[in-house]
């Protein structure tokens, strides 16, 4: 039904439209086209100082990234509808986290009403009609469809003040999305696209949310919340709001899932939480990708600076409909709040985008990683694990700034969402972090905790080095083996046994032994036989130029002979073909100095 446009001409002639109150009469509508409006502070295609009153059968249509901002906490009223589109970014196998910008319209009240997923409509995209839409349908089957929109209710869930997977709360009954979701709370929904393709459009229709919206949080537990408004919100304002500082940790957790895994079975999921935080000024984003596989089918190595998958990013501004997890601060039970003061007009595609892969935005590199200002330093370390047939990477990040303290620096240090039996992290006040911040000093030593479940290869790699002098070394110090490896010049590879390594690895900036080549002594070499993996290791902490490694049995017969023409911090030879017994290892340098040591081989 097409009714006469009421009060719309004003929108067409002003970059900013401010109304004390907005009243849309019965049977009328306002169509707001965001095309031509630029994002910016105190700017919006539709700004209302006080309340919005939508009479029965009246509508506000926000199209082409148009948004509604409101100044006061006055409740909206009426039983008319606001309609706004959002595009889901996953296929039928994967979850998006959502938060509705509208509530129900069953009664005329001046409070924010609960939302039901059955308020989602199927927008008639690809037609000339930008107003009408079709009601979506729901099914109890595993898969929905995009055209016409059919949503599976199996994947509609909420998560409120919980810490166990079993504590998800249904957001629908089978085949019927009829369960209330409180304003500000998020919900999960799988995509409706067929096969492995993603992207489905949804039309949120209802009474626009406004004012302060609180959601319950509990100490050390997670709650799925999100942006509850028909406009973007500023993550910096949200995280550093004076009330939220005492309610939640400073990290937002965005769910990310590998959509190439065509399965609805939980144990088949490849997914995790992308961790995001930002400083109060909104100038420094610190984020860490979800843990995903890094091996490449071609060479079974670690060829990429960031995981093959797990590279979605979030911007400073959280778009309409976006959901995310927050964690309650230990020692407090309270409420996390979204407020009108957090709201901004920010179009998607610059610093605001529904959680997806993107290289665009302010202060981003071509790789999609954020840049830090000139007075900051940063680098990231990828720790590569191989557990059985599973290969994955845990990334950690270190920020350096004069303002950083020895304690927790909110907005610069992402807190760990979840941990694996084999993992790496920083420890601060008994909590696990994926990032730390320090005032830079060459004498710093930064402990890195590594947990290993079973014997495996381990690799440390550095990348995204920002604002460091090219001559400044960045070392991983293996305290047990007395090795200092400059990660700027080489990766550090080793085989490692099971254990909780709390005091073995640290990041330093000056090696413990800064010796010249003339000072190297072959006695500094360490010769070690590991019978669990049938491997002989020669550890070379000072970069001695090793020429040969020979292994002789007690009768003097040479069993192994390996020549080398390059320097390494560790040399490794397989002893799997040697019989049980005592052997002599000779390590010879280019200066023809020799170190000999007995080893015992036992299978």
**Residue ranges of the domains in the chain?**
84-270+309-344, 377-405+418-508, 519-601
pLDDT level of residue 359 (50, 70, 90 thresholds):
very low
Which CATH entry fits the domain spanning 519-601: 3.40.50.300, 3.40.630.10, 2.60.40.3080, 3.40.50.1260?
2.60.40.3080
Mean pLDDT is lowest, of 87-91, 362-366, 552-556, for 362-366
Query: What is the four-CA torsion angle of 514, 515, 521, 523, rounded to 10 degrees?
Result: -10
Does residue 399 have a pLDDT over 60?
A: yes
Element spanning 112, H or E: none
Strand partners, 23: 53
pLDDT in tens, 287-334: 998 886 553 333 333 333 444 445 567 889 999 999 999 999 977 679
Q: Is the CB of residue 499 less than 8 Å from the CB of residue 522? A: no
Q: Is the CB of residue 211 less than 8 Å from the CB of residue 141? A: no
Distance of CA 414 to the CA centre of its chain: 9
Rounded Cα distance, 97 and 321, in Å: 8
What is residue 312's predicted lDDT score, i.e. its pLDDT?
67
Tokens of 180: 């209330």
Strand partners, 475: 486, 508
Mean pLDDT is lowest, of 65-69, 235-239, 245-249, 329-333, for 329-333
The stretch 458-483 carries a mean pLDDT of: 92
Distance of CA 497 to the CA centre of its chain: 29
What is residue 203's predicted lDDT score, i.e. its pLDDT?
94
Pairwise pLDDT comparison (191 vs 522), residue with the higher score: 191
Rounded Cα distance, 347 and 64, in Å: 9
End-to-end CA distance of the chain: 82
pTM of the complete model: 0.82
Give the chain's mean pLDDT. 85
Does residue 452 have a pLDDT over 50?
A: yes
Pairwise pLDDT comparison (265 vs 74), residue with the higher score: 74
445-452 vs 456-466, strand pairing mode = unpaired
The stretch 375-383 carries a mean pLDDT of: 96
Rounded Cα distance, 169 and 178, in Å: 13
Mean pLDDT is lowest, of 339-348, 422-431, 509-518, for 509-518
């Amino acid at each position: 039904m097409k009714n006469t446009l009421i009060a719309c001409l004003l929108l067409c002639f002003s970059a900013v439209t401010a109304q004390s109150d907005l009243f849309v009469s019965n049977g009328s509508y306002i169509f707001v086209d965001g095309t031509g409006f630029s994002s910016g502070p105190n700017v919006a295609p539709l700004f209302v100082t006080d309340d919005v009153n939508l009479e029965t059968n009246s509508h506000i249509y926000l199209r082409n990234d148009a948004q509604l901002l409101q100044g006061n906490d006055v409740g909206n009223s009426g039983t008319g509808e606001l309609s706004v589109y959002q595009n889901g970014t996953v296929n039928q196998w994967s979850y998006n986290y959502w938060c509705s910008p509208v509530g129900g319209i069953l009664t005329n009240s001046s409070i924010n009403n609960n939302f039901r997923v059955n308020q989602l409509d199927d927008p008639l995209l690809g037609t000339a009609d930008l107003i009408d839409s079709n009601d979506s349908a729901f099914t109890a089957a595993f898969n929905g469809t995009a055209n016409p929109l059919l949503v599976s209710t199996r994947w509609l869930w909420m998560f409120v003040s919980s810490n166990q997977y079993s504590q998800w709360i249904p957001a629908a009954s089978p085949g019927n999305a009829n369960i209330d979701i409180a304003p500000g709370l998020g919900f999960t929904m799988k995509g409706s696209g067929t096969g492995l393709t993603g992207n489905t459009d949804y039309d949120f229709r209802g009474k626009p949310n406004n004012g302060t919206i609180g959601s319950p949080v509990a100490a050390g537990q997670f709650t799925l919340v999100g942006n509850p408004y028909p406009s973007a919100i500023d993550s910096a304002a949200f995280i550093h709001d004076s009330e939220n500082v005492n309610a939640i940790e400073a990290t937002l957790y965005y769910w990310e899932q590998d959509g190439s895994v065509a399965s609805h079975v939980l144990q088949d999921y490849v997914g995790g939480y992308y961790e995001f935080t930002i400083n109060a000024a909104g100038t420094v984003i610190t984020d860490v990708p979800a843990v995903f596989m890094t091996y490449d089918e071609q060479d079974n190595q670690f060829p990429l600076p960031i995981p093959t998958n797990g590279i979605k990013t979030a911007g400073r501004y959280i778009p309409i409909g976006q959901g995310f997890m927050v964690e309650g601060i230990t020692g407090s039970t309270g409420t996390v709040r979204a407020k009108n003061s957090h709201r901004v007009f920010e179009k998607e595609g610059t610093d605001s985008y529904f959680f997806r892969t993107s290289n665009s935005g302010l202060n981003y590199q071509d790789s999609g990683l954020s840049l830090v200002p000139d007075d900051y330093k940063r680098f990231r370390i990828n720790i590569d694990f191989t557990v059985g047939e599973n290969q994955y990477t845990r990334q950690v990040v270190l920020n350096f700034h004069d303002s950083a303290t020895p304690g927790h620096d909110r907005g610069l240090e992402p807190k760990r969402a979840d941990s694996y039996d084999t993992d790496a992290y920083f420890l601060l006040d008994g909590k696990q972090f994926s990032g730390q911040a320090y005032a830079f000093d060459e004498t710093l030593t930064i402990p890195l905790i590594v947990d290993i479940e079973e014997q495996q290869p381990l690799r440390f790699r550095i990348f995204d080095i920002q604002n460091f002098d090219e001559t400044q070394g960045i070392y991983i110090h293996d305290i047990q083996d007395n090795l200092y490896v400059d990660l700027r010049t080489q990766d550090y590879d080793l085989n490692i046994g099971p254990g909780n390594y709390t005091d073995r690895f640290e990041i330093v900036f000056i090696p413990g032994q800064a010796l010249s080549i003339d000072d190297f002594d072959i006695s500094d070499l360490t010769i070690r036989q590991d019978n669990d993996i049938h491997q002989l290791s020669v550890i070379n902490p000072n970069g001695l130029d090793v020429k040969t490694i020979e292994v002789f049995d007690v009768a003097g017969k040479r069993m192994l002979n390996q020549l080398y023409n390059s320097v390494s911090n560790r040399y490794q030879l397989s002893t799997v073909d040697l019989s049980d017994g005592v052997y002599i290892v000779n390590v010879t340098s280019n200066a023809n100095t020799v170190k000999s040591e007995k080893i015992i081989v036992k299978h």
